[in-house]
């Protein structure tokens, strides 16, 4: 990646404290378009707290989260006014939840779920919205004929694909994924991973993925960050970290001694 290309996301010295316990301590990294960063670690390592800070759901106690956007200057997420942050985030950020139902409106049709973020951004033409929704159903390998079906009529894997379509329809700068294949059986996971890899390439996405599954991390991520007790203890290209881990904790993680 050329040095002249600004990263989509820059995190510097991010720290978060809960009840005098460091949930995240002095975390720094960058992320460019077309790059997937995997974050792994056992329960309580701080990876979910980090994701919430990046998503604008929880303010850090120290550090900066800087976004580089194509139509404006760099902005520090947590130095924006609350109203501006709430207005900006839906236009630049997508969150893919582990439980697809957390990211969908179950009483709204599949097409309505995909169209809603576009309507929030000011699009109102019914024909255009429906056409885009059907195109995105095809993008995530759902039959467009199901555009009027409710999400609860879909399988778990289809609900997750519908959530992905809803998240990506606005072409966000940054995508945050929280255990996107969790709870799905192995065959459904494999299809979803293939879909995610294709979408990352096709739309040049910048992605942060939190996962306990090192197989998912290997298949999806370009780089890995290993967290322990709120700190990043090892980082590097995914293949290097998984095949030649330097830290004892990472070695245990890779050998599945630790339950994550």
- Give CA angle at 59 (177, 39), nearest 5°: 30
Query: Stretch 14-36: mean pLDDT, rounded?
Result: 95
Query: Stretch 88-97: mean pLDDT, rounded?
Result: 91
CB 49 within 8 A of CB 16: yes
The verdict on residue 210 lying in a domain is yes
The verdict on residue 112 lying in a domain is no
The verdict on residue 34 lying in a domain is yes
Q: What is the pLDDT of residue 2?
A: 43
pLDDT in tens, 107-147: 999 999 999 999 876 667 788 999 999 999 999 999 999 99
Return the HEC string of 118-180: HHHCCCCCHHHHHHHHHHHHHHCCCCHHHCCCCHHHCCHHHHHHHHHHHHHCCCCCEEEEECC
Looking at the 3D structure of the chain, how many domains does it have?
1
pLDDT in tens, 51-81: 999 999 999 999 999 998 776 678 999 999 9
Asked if residue 3 has pLDDT above 80, the reply is no
The verdict on residue 245 lying in a domain is yes
Asked if residue 224 has pLDDT above 60, the reply is yes
The verdict on residue 57 lying in a domain is yes
Asked if residue 4 has pLDDT above 70, the reply is no
- Segment (H or E) for 42: none
The verdict on residue 83 lying in a domain is yes
Could you give the percent of the chain with pLDDT greater than 70?
95
pTM for this entry: 0.92
Mean pLDDT of the chain: 91
The verdict on residue 125 lying in a domain is no
- Quick one: DSSP state of residue 78? G
Q: What is the pLDDT of residue 94?
A: 95
Asked if residue 214 has pLDDT above 70, the reply is yes
Domain that residue 224 falls in: 9-101+175-254
Q: What is the pLDDT of residue 90?
A: 85
Here the tokens at position 213 are: 């599954």
Query: Stretch 211-237: mean pLDDT, rounded?
Result: 94
Q: What is the pLDDT of residue 121?
A: 67
Residue 92 is part of a domain; what is its CATH number? 3.40.50.300
- CA torsion 204-13-81-36 (nearest 10°) is 10
The verdict on residue 241 lying in a domain is yes
Helix (H, G, I), strand (E, B) or coil at 85: helix
Distance of CA 199 to the CA centre of its chain: 13
- Give the whole-angstrom CA distance, residue 230 versus residue 41: 10
Cross-sheet strand order for the sheet of 21-31: 21-31, 9-18, 62-67, 75-76
């Amino acid at each position: 990646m050329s040095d002249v290309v600004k990263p989509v996301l820059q995190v510097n010295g991010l720290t978060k404290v809960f009840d005098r316990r460091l949930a995240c301590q002095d975390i720094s990294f960058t992320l460019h378009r077309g790059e997937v960063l995997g974050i792994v670690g056992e329960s309580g390592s701080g990876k979910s707290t980090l994701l919430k800070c990046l998503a604008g759901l929880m303010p850090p106690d120290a550090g900066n989260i800087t976004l580089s956007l194509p139509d404006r200057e760099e902005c520090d997420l947590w130095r924006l006014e609350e109203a501006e942050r709430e207005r900006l985030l839906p236009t630049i950020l997508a969150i893919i939840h582990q439980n697809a139902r957390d990211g969908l409106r179950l009483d709204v049709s599949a097409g309505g779920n995909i169209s809603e973020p576009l309507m929030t951004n000011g699009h109102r033409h019914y024909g255009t919205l429906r056409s885009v929704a059907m195109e995105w159903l095809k993008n995530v390998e759902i039959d467009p004929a199901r555009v009027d079906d409710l999400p609860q009529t879909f399988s778990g894997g289809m609900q997750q694909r519908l959530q992905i379509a809803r998240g990506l329809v606005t072409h966000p700068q940054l995508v945050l994924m929280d255990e996107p294949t969790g709870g799905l059986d192995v065959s459904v996971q494999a299809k979803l991973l293939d879909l995610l890899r294709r979408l990352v390439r096709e739309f040049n996405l910048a992605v942060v993925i939190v996962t306990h599954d090192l197989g998912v991390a290997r298949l999806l991520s370009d780089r890995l960050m290993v967290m322990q007790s709120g700190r990043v203890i090892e980082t590097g290209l995914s293949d290097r970290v998984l095949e030649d881990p330097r830290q004892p904790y990472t070695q245990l993680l890779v050998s599945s001694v630790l339950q994550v």
